[in-house]
Amino acid sequence: MSNEEHETTPQIDVIVVGAGFSGLYAVYRARKAGFSVLGLEVGSDVGGVWFWNKYPGARCDVESLEYSYSFDEEIQKEWVWTERFASQPELQRYLSFVADKLDLRRSFEFERRVVSTIWDEVAQRWTVTDDQGIQRTAKYLIMATGILSAPKPHGITGLEDFNGEVFHTATWPDYDVDFTGKRVAVIGTGSSAVQAIPLIAEGADRLYVLQRTPSFSLPAQNRALRQDEIAAFEAKRHEVRARARYKPGGIDFVTTGQPVENFSPEERDALYEEVWQEGAPFKFQSTFSDLRTSAQANKTAMDFVANKIRETITDPVLAEKLTPTYPISARRLCLDTNYYATYLRENVELVDVKERPIKRAVAQGLELSDGSVLDVEAVVLATGFDAITGALRRINIVGTHGRVLADYWADAPHNFVGLLVAGFPNLFTVTGPSSPGALSNMVVSIEQHIDLIFTTLEMAQRDGVVVETTEAAQDAWARHGELLANRTLFVTTDSWYVGANVPGKPRVFLPYAGGVGNYRRICDGLVENGFAGFHADDDLSGVNAAIDAVFDAEGKSKFAHTATTK
Ligand code: FAD
Ligand code: NAP
């Protein structure tokens, strides 16, 4: 559909913001349910994260065979992945293939940034305004804006005075960036940097890696997928997909399901070694049942990886600098190809910017606090995102009685099950705060969220009701979320999971720590209990019953035994 056609479209049932995994599936589901739908996307094509993050080495950290849609048989049969962990170009081709196959692009307008959306209490519709001033209204609004789509402000003064080139991993240009023979600085050592650094180092004359906090990283053991592996997956695909939906991370693997103490040090390290050789970060951090809850148990995994770092980096000072001191997986575990070995190259230097913080950028490079200047021709910002709430808070979202989302979330992102916010009727956030999305195979979470949204919309249409949650339901969900989060090591460490990477952001554990399977069970319970929490009704019995069916009063899952077995 052309942009002009949309401008004259009088009534739209559903507006979807974003054209990544979430937006594409939401538009598909809207059409299937018979709604008129419009998608708005600021990028010039579909793909979301995989459209924007074109930096060298970008690839997924969940195996391609599972990091993909499961809702359509033909897509799964026709698309053939070439690598264990698909690269950004392949993922972008995949999402483009899906868009073509389902003819989704005709429902989208690209290069349209939604800047404002205001609830009209009389018309009971959302008025959505884009950056070109064009307004549309819709009965339902689905914010598929992504949890890692708003690059955080870098906060480096004087970068505009720098004479060289500046790149951000998440807004990487379309052309082939050539660092051959150049002096380059990479700022950051999170997942994006860990993937980019080895490849930038191969070409650059000199590479400075500016590290504030080291990351734990596992070797991806990436390789081409063999025909027989693909055929074997295809033969069991239905069962794998069905199991993954009930696993904590939305990925189908089996672990011991037992605490570390049940194993001798030799047995324990042999199990870590097995997963290390396999290249499976989610599995590694789940090798034992208490790695996320016990600092003592976690220390065994930390020590295992620290030893691996020391095996590669024989300089003890450098090895120590590269070894994190926070619990493994309290920040996102990285997946790499040759990351630690890259520091053995003569053209690579680790610069500790905790010791010597970046003072400012100057014409010829980056000045550090001790007055030294890193003389570089290019700066790569691998500095991360205003995660989970950033993309939403950047839009002027105004609900009932003039409630502004950014203000309402100033102290914490109040919401119900990561999908609804009190005072914002008929508005849905996909993998919003307090959903398990960020800690999972996101595609599994996205499909579940969007399926639930459309189950809810069918009910709303049938019953002629507005979908709206209450502050009481939000509080109940927040209490449950806190109970679970406070049992984990996530809350002990600064990370984007707790908003600590963005100055001034409230420190709140943003994802839901109960796992994908348990979350799904609770959501199913809410639906069974008459869409409890999805109506402007302060009766919490349905919400509490759905939670109590899955967790006991201490926050222990009643389904823990099913999480680790096939
Ligand atoms: P996105 O893909 O982020 O799409 C959101 C879209 O909304 C974007 O295209 C954006 O331009 C658009 N948008 C935002 N605001 C507006 C606005 N105001 N107006 C118009 N459009 C707007 N997850 C995993 O499970 N496994 C992985 O291996 C994995 N790897 C990742 C690698 C990188 C480099 C990054 C950054 C994230 C990765 N993730 C991974 C998480 C990733 O966010 C999800 O897997 C998934 O791609 C999210 O899809 P989405 O459609 O919800 O969001
Ligand atoms: P990130 O994990 O938040 O890492 C940002 C890095 O930049 C950190 O090392 C941070 O240091 C540093 N930094 C930020 N501002 C800085 C400053 N002013 N000075 C010095 N250092 C600064 O961001 P990311 O690497 O882009 O990854 C974000 C998330 O995206 C990941 O956690 C993951 O979920 C996803 N992702 C996945 C993959 C994958 O493997 N599939 C790849 C890329 C991204 P501090 O920690 O000290 O703040």
Distance CA 138, CA 16 (A): 10
Contact 384, 155 (CB under 8 A): no
* Closest approach atom of ligand 2 to CA 332: 32
Among the CATH numbers 3.30.1490.100, 3.90.1570.10, 2.60.40.10, 3.50.50.60, which is that of 3-150+387-469?
3.50.50.60
Mean pLDDT of 384-406: 98
Mean pLDDT of 169-174: 97
pLDDT at position 4 over 70: no
Coil vs helix vs strand at 9: coil
Best probe residue, ligand 2, of 212, 329, 353 (max atoms within 8 Å of C-beta): 212
pLDDT at position 561 over 80: no
What is the per-residue pLDDT for 535?
95
Size (the chain), residues: 566
What is the per-residue pLDDT for 566?
54
pLDDT tens digits for 204-216? 999 999 999 999 9
pLDDT tens digits for 219-236? 999 999 999 999 999 999
pLDDT at position 2 over 50: no
Q: Label residue 564 by pLDDT band (50, 70, 90).
A: low
Expressed in percent and rounded to 5, the helix, strand and coil fractions of the chain are: 40, 15, 45
Of 5-19, 117-131, 244-258, the least confident: 5-19
Cα 275–chain centre separation: 23
Residue located nearest, by CA, to atom 34 of ligand 1: 53
What is the per-residue pLDDT for 479?
98
What is the per-residue pLDDT for 254?
93
What is the per-residue pLDDT for 10?
55
195 lines ligand 2 (CB under 6 A): yes
Residue located nearest, by CA, to atom 6 of ligand 1: 18
Mean pLDDT of 5-31: 86
Q: Which CATH class is domain 153-215+331-384?
A: alpha beta
For 423-487, give the DSSP string: T-TTEEETT-TTSSGGGS-HHHHHHHHHHHHHHHHHHHHHHT------HHHHHHHHHHHHHHHTT
Two domains, one topology: 3-150+387-469 and 153-215+331-384: yes
What is the per-residue pLDDT for 191?
98
Mean pLDDT of 499-525: 97
Q: Label residue 137 by pLDDT band (50, 70, 90).
A: very high
Distance CA 382, CA 197 (A): 10
Contact 384, 394 (CB under 8 A): no
For residue 406, the one-letter residue type is A
pLDDT at position 5 over 90: no
Compute the distance from residue 150 Cα to the ligand 1 centre, in Å: 9
The bridge status of strand 427-429 relative to strand 135-143 is: parallel
- Matching residue, tokens 């959306």: 117
Compute the distance from residue 442 Cα to the ligand 1 centre, in Å: 9
pLDDT at position 252 over 50: yes
Domain boundaries, the chain: 3-150+387-469, 153-215+331-384
Q: The tokens of 484 are what?
A: 């679970």
pLDDT tens digits for 341-390? 999 999 999 999 999 999 999 999 999 999 999 999 999 999 999 999 99
What is the per-residue pLDDT for 3?
45
Q: How buried is residue 46: exposed, middle or buried, by Cβ count under 10 Å (0-12/13-18/19+)?
A: buried
For 360-393, give the DSSP string: EEETTEEEETTS-EEE-SEEEE---B-TTTHHHH
Higher-pLDDT residue of 53 and 6 is 53
What is the per-residue pLDDT for 560?
79
pLDDT tens digits for 175-195? 999 999 999 999 999 999 999
Compute the distance from residue 60 Cα to the ligand 2 centre, in Å: 15
Distance CA 331, CA 328 (A): 7
* Closest approach atom of ligand 1 to CA 61: 28
Q: List the one residue out of 210, 178, 202 whose CA is nearest residue 373.
A: 210
* Sequence-separated (6 or more) residues with CB below 8 Å from residue 547: 476, 480, 522, 525
pLDDT tens digits for 453-489? 999 999 999 999 999 999 999 999 999 999 999 999 9
Q: Label residue 565 by pLDDT band (50, 70, 90).
A: low
Mean pLDDT of 159-171: 97
Residues lining ligand 1, CB < 6 A? 17-23, 40-43, 48-49, 51, 53, 58, 60-62, 67, 113-114, 144-149, 192, 391, 395, 430-431, 441-442, 446
pLDDT tens digits for 285-300? 999 999 999 999 999 9
Q: At what angle do helices 516-528 and 442-463 cross, to 10 degrees?
A: 10
pLDDT at position 8 over 80: no
Distance CA 492, CA 513 (A): 14
